[in-house]
Amino acid sequence: MQIQLSDKFNYSRILRFTMPSVLMLVFTSIYGVVDGFFVSNFVNKTAFTAINFIWPYMMILGAAGFMLGTGGSALISKILGEDGGDSKRANKTFSMLIYVSIAVGIILALTGIFTVRPVAALLGAEGAMLEDCVLYGIVLSISLPAFLLQNMFQSLFVTAEKPKLGLYVTVIAGVANMVLDALLVAVFPMGLLGAALATASSQVLGGIIPLFYFARKNGSLLRLVPALPDFPALGRICFNGSSELLSNISMSVVGMLYNAQLMHYAGEDGVAAYGVLMYVNFIFISAFIGYAVGISPVVGYHYGAGNTDELKSLRRKSTVIILITSVAMFALSELLAYPLSYMFVGYDEALLNMTLRGFTIYSFCFLFAGLAIFISSFFTALNDGLTSAILSFARTIVIQVAGVLLLPIWLHLDGIWLSVVISDLLSMLLGIAFLLAYKRKYSY
């Protein structure tokens, strides 16, 4: 039986409904890591460093997709709750959102093509590493319109009550990326260009396949229809999703700052070690983000319908699920530290030791990050974009930037790894404080 947004959710139903979104985001992260694996082992360390060096900037350009997806999902699910499931108004909002995303994606693609070189040079890339950054960045810039759609549909598939379909699309795109990486990097020696083409191709598949699905009659709550610009609705969507935009941009800016600090304290090896940690971080944090994406439309629907008892239940049960998962992820990260590090940089003993040292410190962030992410997304689902944005801004810009700039002064390289742990701990405590402060306002 298909689970609907209007249902009452026990633990089993929550997990069944959110699991496709969790797997979708985790799988997206895994196939994103594949580029790094093939480049590190079949090209060279400089190319591997270049991917990790320029990737945060590409994520800044693609962050608008997360904003439109999460903000749009919150508004559309609220509309469905208010209208008792009637999708006419929701379809117009959904369609307008898709058309705006395509236009924004084209503008950002042109921006990326012309700015990737000066940005990489400004951050400290030079010589062969700079040329690798430019090559990888330009190819991925061309696929940005599809990347925005892919990011957006990850949320909208859940709102359309088709989370499994979103997972299937992600699997198709992911398998294509893995196969193309193997062919274009390992079999046909196209090097970094082959890895970039593999990733761009997977993004095109992930963005275009959903367009064909929603453009025709389908079994979901949503479909593409003619729609004129609705600036008040678009403003609400951008405001609701501003925390996700800010969070993604901030994380990318902080990532670039980390790379700059690592270049100063440890050179290219530091950036390469950080890249390995980020791959594990992408996968584990994606599980938390996937849960947030999966549960947010449910929260938004019941908030719009005024079902306060269900809101309380969703908040309480989600907290339990997140806490249990956080402990499991911390234990798993410690257990897998050596094999994962060896898989990427086992060819260099000094780099391997540096990466393992980073793992032992960095892993503690998984104890706190999940709850911080969930609380921020919970406020987005309640259409309180301001509170969500404050939490995201504090977590990524205020606390992490202060940490990565100050802690290395006393703790050197260890201070860089520790700054993430402290940031997530303080962000979790701040989120809990906001959750308690607004308890009566939203009746959760």
Cα separation values, 201 from 179, 194, 377, Å:
11, 10, 30
* Joined tokens for residue 165: 């379909």
195 near 185, Cβ under 8 Å? yes
- The pLDDT value given to residue 146: 94
Least Cα distance to 332 among 289, 287, 376, 373 occurs for 287
Cα separation values, 234 from 2, 80, 93, 300, Å:
30, 17, 8, 17
- The pLDDT value given to residue 428: 93
- The pLDDT value given to residue 31: 65
The phi, psi pair for 234, rounded to 5°, reads: -65, -40
242 near 385, Cβ under 8 Å? yes
Q: What is the pLDDT along the chain (444 residues), one digit of tens a residue?
A: 567 777 888 899 999 889 888 887 887 777 667 777 888 888 888 888 888 888 888 888 888 887 888 788 888 888 888 867 667 888 899 999 999 999 999 999 999 999 999 999 987 788 888 999 999 999 999 999 999 998 888 888 888 888 888 888 988 988 898 899 999 998 888 889 999 999 999 999 999 999 999 998 888 888 889 888 888 888 888 887 776 777 777 777 777 787 778 877 887 787 778 878 877 787 888 899 889 988 988 898 888 888 889 999 999 999 999 999 999 999 998 888 888 888 877 777 888 888 889 888 989 999 999 999 999 889 988 888 788 878 877 777 777 788 888 888 888 888 888 888 988 899 899 999 999 999 888 888
Q: Please tell me the pTM assigned to this model.
A: 0.74
Least Cα distance to 362 among 287, 252, 286, 274 occurs for 274
- The pLDDT value given to residue 1: 54
